Structure 1
Amino acid sequence: MSHKILIVDDDPHIRQVLAFALGKAGMQTAEAGDGESALDAIAAQRPDLVVLDINMPRMSGLDVCRKLRAADDLPILFLSSRDDEIDRVLGLELGGDDYVVKPFSPREVVARVSAILKRGGRALEEAGALRPVTHGKLRLDPQSWEAQWDGAPVSLTVTEFQLLLLLASLPARVFTRDAIIDRLHGPGFAITDRTIDSHIRNLRHKFASAGGPDLIETRAGIGYRIGPCRGGSA
């Protein structure tokens, strides 16, 4: 069954170009020209991923993301103007999985959509097929895509789950940002360090709220590794 992608942009030409490119890649597409229509379309028939423009009139893509993240971990790929770096970072911190900067190549959008939909193929390989990974009070189940802290569920986006699964699967290893990008998306994938840092901040915030402030350690000048995950004080 092909994946269904909802394209949300107030520019009909961009929607048409992306619909053609994604369709050529074997995906089904639906379109929405504004945030309100996007939320209605998602409620009517949930897609597998949303390509979401940040800058739209009335309801911005960031507002749409906020509403979705209140109750859903639906994957989101943001479309952003070149000069809107603050919005891009905010979009990731709100729970976006990735972003593409306008003007973009349709091929790049397809590649990033495909990378998200693979649901962490490389991360799953590191996890040893589909066996659950337990580390301290953290438990990750790749089959059900569920994360738990001390038995309580923690809602994660696709990319957050992928990243955490990678770190937890190799607890002795310190991963550079480039190594994380290579494992999740493949070598040469154009993602900035700030993107990885935003996902790390999101994970720390979510698990700190659940009683796990020691989820991820930073090794200065190197990168990240999974923390002891014992809870209590970091």
Structure 2
Amino acid sequence: MIAAQHMPSRSAGWKVLVVENNTSDAEALAKGLQRHGHEVETVDTGGAALQTYKNVDLVLLDLELPDLDGIEVCRGIRTACDVAMIAVTARGSEVDRVLGLQAGADDYLVKPYGFHELMARIEAVMRRALPATVMPAMPKVVSHGRLWIDASSREVSVDGRRIEVTRKEFDLLYLLASHPDTVIPRKLLMEEVWGDSWSRRTVDTHVSSLRGKLGSREWIITVRGVGFRLGHA
């Protein structure tokens, strides 16, 4: 997920396909998304959706379409790819929600809804989707100036001197070192290294410990308000 050139970010915006039968709803939704920096394409039929979803990051799919049932459109897109997808529809029964999620929607939002809620759901879906879809393979051995990391043996050394690190310290350092030119967001770093079991202080404690063991604070640079990146010491 980390390579900057492959990772859609809030600042760069996502490519969003809005599949909406109601013209005024589609226009309002598109304008709201564009104000948040996202690139939007709108279509009003299921057939058009099945022709245009391939190059987008997110599909917002109305299930009430004039030509095809939205559930079938959802299932068709999900069968073909793992693009993030949220059903946005007036169908609000439990059965409809279950069918939509089973067909492949990552989330289900019932009309009428608040735009802020939609944006929050989009953020949540994209956080879940991006790590699985854009994380490139990481190298087995990382050599970065005086720093050397072997993923197979899980060994770390600086100037040929072996550095004893814990399992999580290794995972943290290896993730940063595998993407030396990228600032890794704090939340993503915590999710990748600690999964569901972490607190904000956890990453700071491990970063501080690693800096001490590596002999310099410059090995791990804090980018305030964003995250961390690998440095040079």
The TM-score normalised by the length of structure 1 is 0.50
Which of the pair has more CA radius of gyration?
A: 2
